């Protein structure tokens, strides 16, 4: 029996190698804000790298990262730990708030354009169908883990947005993860 040739070995490896899931880059902020776009700076908090965002009095702000995944991905789960500072206050009078949408805290919603619902923090996922939202309520001064699940039709080009509200105080984010949900 002849040993396999190099092209045969390469072809076999390509056909048998599992398709890797495109993980979020730098979700632990160990490389500062590398791969992330938007406001804030990375600081050490309790020995961990944390993104700290000073809130804008009147405007929502978001930190974003592009994701590319294999075409077989149909659902993802986003997990993030968030903490609002003890002096955090949501600005209910911000003109940025989209009054025409009636999204409730904790719900999952879809919209064809960017909207800013009343929420302490929300995760927004942009895909070819528009935007998907998961809204959260934050108790000031405590780390809270939030999870959002999103269905995806075309996973080749997604944008993950961590959205901070208008108001006073700061918000901190750490341990952002994106995982495929197998069906």
Given this model, what pLDDT does residue 145 score? 96
Q: Which domains, from first to last, does the chain contain?
A: 21-180 (2.60.120.260)
CB atoms within 10 A of CB 58: 13
Given this model, what pLDDT does residue 20 score? 44
**Which DSSP category does 156 fall into?**
T
- Buried-state track 141-158, b at ≥16 Cβ within 10 A, e below 16: eebeebebebebeebeeb
How buried is residue 82: exposed, middle or buried, by Cβ count under 10 Å (0-12/13-18/19+)? buried
How far apart are the C-alpha atoms of 168 and 146, rounded to whole Å?
21
The closest alpha carbon to 109, from 119, 93, 67, belongs to 119
Given this model, what pLDDT does residue 16 score? 42
pTM of the model: 0.84
Given this model, what pLDDT does residue 178 score? 94
Sheet holding 158-164, edge to edge: 61-67, 158-164, 121-127, 130-136, 108-111
Q: What does R_g of the chain's alpha carbons equal in angstroms?
A: 19
Per-residue pLDDT of 74-133, as tens digits, reads 999 999 999 999 999 999 999 998 877 878 887 777 887 888 899 999 999 998 888 999
Query: For strand 158-164 and strand 75-84, is the pairing parallel, antiparallel, or unpaired?
Result: unpaired
- Does residue 14 have a pLDDT over 60? no
- Assigned token pair, 145: 């883990």
């Amino acid at each position: 029996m002849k040993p396999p040739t190099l092209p045969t070995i390469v072809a076999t490896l390509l056909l048998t190698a599992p398709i890797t899931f495109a993980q979020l880059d730098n979700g632990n902020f160990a490389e500062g804000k590398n791969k992330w776009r938007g406001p804030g700076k990375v600081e050490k908090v309790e020995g961990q790298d944390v993104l700290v965002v000073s809130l804008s009095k009147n405007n929502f702000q978001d930190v974003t990262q592009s994701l590319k995944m294999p075409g077989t991905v149909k659902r993802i789960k986003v997990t993030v730990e968030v903490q609002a500072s003890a002096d955090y206050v949501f600005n209910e009078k911000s003109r940025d708030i989209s009054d025409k949408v009636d999204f409730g805290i904790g719900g999952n919603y879809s919209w064809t354009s960017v909207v800013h619902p009343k929420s302490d923090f929300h995760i927004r996922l942009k895909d070819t169908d528009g935007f998907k939202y998961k809204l959260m309520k934050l108790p000031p001064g405590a780390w809270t883990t939030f999870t959002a699940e999103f269905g995806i039709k075309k996973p080749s080009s997604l944008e993950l947005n961590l959205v901070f509200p208008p108001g006073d105080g700061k918000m901190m984010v750490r341990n952002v993860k994106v995982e495929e949900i197998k069906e």
